[in-house]
Amino acid sequence: MCNQYTPAKPRAIADLFDVPEPAFDYPARAYKGYKAPMLRRPQGGTGLVVEEGHFALVPFFAKAIKLSYDTLNARTETIATAASYRGPWKRRQFCLIPMHTFTEPNYESGKSQWWDVYRRDGEAFAVAGLYDRWTSPEGEKYWSFTLPTINSDQHPLMNRFHKLGKEKRSIVVLTPSAYDTWLDAKTDEQARSVFQLFDEGQFDAGPVPAAPARADSTPGQLQV
C-alpha cells in the first residue's frame, strides 16, 4: 500500500511528458486528500492534460469529499468490481501520476521505518492511476485518483516492506512505452496488461532522513 509519495516537480513533469508545467501549486509530499498533478487524455482527444488532482479517489456518487473508507489504493484483483472503482474502470478513466519517490514502511530493524523508493538515476517516473470527478451540489469540480496495486511477494525490493507475514503490494510503475497502453486501453485485457512489477534493477530504496510530516501543507480545497 502506498499512502504517501513525492510528486514530480513541475519542470520534470514538463520534460517527461512534453506538456506545460502544472499551473497550480502543490505540496512537496502528497498524503490523503492532498493536491498533486495527474495527467489524463482529454475527452475525445489526444495528448495529455495536467489536472489538479487529489490523492484518494472520491467516487462521483459520494455525498461528500470526506469518506468513511480508504481509497488511496485499489487492488487490481477487485478494481473492476469494487463500488468506488468499477465506474471509473468501466469508463476507462485512466491517468498517469508523476513521482520522484514513493514511501513504504520497512520493518527489517524490528520496528517501522519509512523508506523512499526511487529511480537509481534520480529521474522522475509515472505510475498508473484511476481517476474520477466529483461535483458538489454547488457545481464545484473535484478531481481525485487512486493508485492500483499488485501483489509483490516475489519482488526483490518491494517484498522488503510492510509487516512480516503480511501480503506485499506494489503500485504499478509504468515504462514510457506503457503510457499509451494504459491511457488508451479499450478492454480489460489491454488495461491489465500493464499490471506488472517494475524492474528492480532501475530502482533503489533507503530510509527517509526525517519522519515524513503532514505539516508541510494542508489538503487541497475544492477547485472549480
Q: What is the pLDDT of residues 106-147, one digit of tens each?
A: 999 888 999 999 999 999 999 999 999 999 989 999 999 999
Instruction: Provide the sign of the torsion angle of the four alpha carbons 31, 6, 60, 140, taken in this order.
Output: positive
**SS3 call for 7:** strand
Q: What are the phi and psi torsion angles at 192 (to 5°)? A: -70, -15
Alpha carbon distance 105, 207 (integer Å): 9
Alpha carbon distance 80, 214 (integer Å): 32
What is the rounded average pLDDT of the residues 76-96?
98
Q: What are the phi and psi torsion angles at 36 (to 5°)? A: -165, 150
What is the rounded average pLDDT of the residues 70-86?
97
Q: What are the phi and psi torsion angles at 167 (to 5°)? A: -60, 140
Beta bridge partners of 5: 30, 102
Instruction: Provide the sign of the torsion angle of the four alpha carbons 28, 29, 31, 35, taken in this order.
Output: positive
pLDDT confidence band for 173 (50 / 70 / 90) = very high
Looking at residue 45, what is its pLDDT?
79
**Side-chain half-sphere exposure of 180, counting CA atoms within 13 A:** 4
Instruction: Give the DSSP H/E element, type plus range, for residue 82.
Output: none
DSSP secondary structure code for residue 81 in this structure: T
CATH architecture of 5-216: Alpha-Beta Complex (3.90)
Looking at residue 212, what is its pLDDT?
58
Looking at residue 165, what is its pLDDT?
86
For 1, 22, 109, 130, 146, the CA distances from 73, given in Å and listed in that order, are 6, 24, 26, 9, 5
Reported as a single tens digit per residue, the pLDDT across 185-211 is 999 999 999 999 999 999 999 999 765
In the predicted model, what is the mean pLDDT of the chain?
A: 92
| Most confident of the ranges 37-46, 63-72, 89-98 | 89-98
Alpha carbon distance 11, 173 (integer Å): 20
Q: What is the pTM of this model?
A: 0.93
Beta carbons of 158 and 168 less than 8 angstroms apart:
yes
Among the ranges given (42-46, 83-87, 136-140, 148-152), the one the predictor scored with the smallest mean pLDDT: 42-46
**Side-chain half-sphere exposure of 161, counting CA atoms within 13 A:** 25
Alpha carbon distance 13, 133 (integer Å): 22
pLDDT confidence band for 221 (50 / 70 / 90) = very low
Domain residue spans of the chain: 5-216
Beta bridge partners of 54: 35
